[in-house]
Amino acid sequence: MNKSDLVREIASRTGLTQIEARAAVDNLVEIIMEEVAAGRSANLRGFGTFKAVSRAARTAQHPRTRVTINVKPKRVPVFRASPDWKSDLLK
């Protein structure tokens, strides 16, 4: 399912127009991205949590040339599925 499929499905389930459904999806994604960028988490009960984590600096090796490189510390977005959703997937 891609974004267009999601918009169509939301529109059919809610009675919204596709334009309204697309705006809702766009706003949801934008809000989650803003919260995570500000260092807060976005928790959608029953679905999961979006947050940013810090990764420490490390040394790595280029797989083809075997040259050692230094990787800088960085913050990356992560998603953790809720226990309810995980248990539903195992059924």
In the predicted model, what is the mean pLDDT of residues 27-56?
A: 96
Residues 23 and 59 in one domain: no
The pLDDT value given to residue 88: 86
Report how many domains make up the chain. 2
Residue 31 neighbours by CB distance under 10 Å: 11
Residues 36 and 5 in one domain: yes
pLDDT in tens, 18-31: 999 999 999 999 99
Residues 28 and 62 in one domain: no
Q: Is the pLDDT of residue 83 over 80?
A: yes
Residue pointed to by tokens 């809702």: 24
Residues 8 and 29 in one domain: yes
Q: Please classify residue 7 by burial: count the beta carbons closer than 10 Å to its beta carbon, then call 0-12 exposed, 13-18 middle and 19+ buried.
A: buried
Percentage, residues of the chain above pLDDT 90:
90
User: Where in the chain does DSSP place strands (E)?
Assistant: 42-44, 48-55, 58-61, 68-71, 74-81
Domain that holds residue 58: 48-91
The pLDDT value given to residue 59: 96
pLDDT band for 32, please (50, 70, 90 cuts): very high
